[in-house]
Amino acid sequence: MNSDAVLTDVAVLGAGAIGLTIAYELARRGRTVTLVDRDPLAAIEREVCTIETPPRSATSWAASGILPPANLETATDPIEQLRGLSHRLFPGLVDRLIDETGIDPHLVRCGGWYLSDTIGETASMVGMASYWRDLSIECHETDLAELAIREPALESWTHRASVGRAWWVPDEYQICTPLYLQALIEACRKLGVTMLDETCVDGIDEHEKGATISIHARHVDAGHDGERAPHGRHLQAEQTVLCGGVWSGLISDRLKLAQSLVPVRGQILLLKTDAPILSSVINLGQRYLVPRRDGAILVGSCEEEVGFQHGTTPKVLSELRQFVRELCPQLQSARELAAWSGLRPLTFDGFPMCGKVPGSDSVFVAAGHFRSGIHLSPGTAVCMADMVCGVQPQVDMVPFAVGKQQHHHLS
């Protein structure tokens, strides 16, 4: 153990939605927490960025903030149980964040439309609607004339979609992810969480008292007003929670997680209208429109396996514009404010990794939530905090055991 290391009960590595909610939950339980992230928190806290200056690795920031319906009471699938717990916790969490920080993340139970305009999409939605009904989740197939009345901006699509069908799901929420992250950052600060941003992790060395984490500042910025780790600094943590998204497997070779996560890029286009023209989330296959209360519209998305390559591409942005023209022609006159990408962390079995690293006494991982990191963050935080504190989680976390994804891949 390094004698001059900074001491902390728990080191949380990664300040995305998962890392921030875990840090917040542990701090609420009285643990001293140090949060480390390689990006500047000021960039993550921005509500809107330009095309040229998105946060480089802030995948949570880039997320659309769609929270599909879930029901903890009826869920049997492990991921749906975790989603159901998160869905139940979200309103209370947001109320606390507003009370503690004054920042409103704009959690809205806006409902969601699920549309299909091909035979394949229809078959998929018929199955999904049946699944939701089995879980006692409200899902009503609605004729296209009713859709046109409730969402007039989609009327032209209802006339053109010869095999189009529509389902209404009232328990779908949305949240403004940059404001959510901003509220979590401020809440963590108020609870005394030490935040080391623009700080890289060089390695994790476990020993009988926990782990020594080697860190260094990415660069020196005289105008930076936050805390900064000098070169060669060490953290001594009784417990460590690794929440680095797609980079979680690259932080330390000793953890043997390098093969556990695959980055999948998604791209989003941000439009702005003078007045809101949609009232609910619109889903069509893997694509969507998310209307914000200020007239902004998020248009997404795609799934690309391009390694750790960030950035938007003319091809995908053109496809998103074409999607807008076909589904909602009124948006053709909307202003394009920004476009960005995020790298979603996908595991080989589709289950997030949540738990202790095999063979470790003090290092935990919470990563691999793919497209559901925002939605699963409250439930993941509570369950991970339970495990760190030696409490039985509300949801069975055995299906999310760390390491099984890598072992399956290597076999």
**What CATH number is associated with residue 301?**
3.30.9.10
d(CA 177, CA 185): 12
State whether 325 and 378 are in the same domain.
Answer: no
Neighbours of 76 (CB within 10 A): 8
* Domain assignment of residue 192, yes or no: yes
State whether 183 and 317 are in the same domain.
Answer: no
Range of the domain at 124: 112-172+262-347
Neighbours of 143 (CB within 10 A): 11
What is the helix (H) or strand (E) element at residue 86, kind and residue range? helix 78-101
Q: Alpha carbon 1 to chain centroid distance? A: 34
Q: Residue 78: CB partners within 8 Å, gap ≥ 6?
A: 351, 395, 396, 399, 400
State whether 281 and 329 are in the same domain.
Answer: yes
State whether 202 and 163 are in the same domain.
Answer: no
Q: Which of 66, 38, 13 is nearest to 373 (CA)?
A: 66
State whether 149 and 217 are in the same domain.
Answer: no
CATH code at 60? 3.50.50.60
State whether 205 and 228 are in the same domain.
Answer: yes
* Domain assignment of residue 103, yes or no: no
Q: Are 276 and 152 in contact (CB under 8 A)?
A: no
What is the predicted pLDDT for the residue at 97? 98
What is the predicted pLDDT for the residue at 202? 92
Q: Are 64 and 298 in contact (CB under 8 A)?
A: yes
State whether 168 and 190 are in the same domain.
Answer: no
Residue ranges of the chain with pLDDT lower than 70? 1-4, 43-58, 219-232, 405-411
**384-408 pLDDT, tens digit each:** 999 999 999 999 999 999 977 554 4
What is the predicted pLDDT for the residue at 219? 67
Eight-class DSSP state of 91: H
Q: Write down the pTM of the prediction.
A: 0.93
* Domain assignment of residue 101, yes or no: no
> 331, 347, 363 — which closes off a domain?
347
> 324, 347, 370 — which closes off a domain?
347
User: How many domains is the chain partitioned into structurally?
Assistant: 2
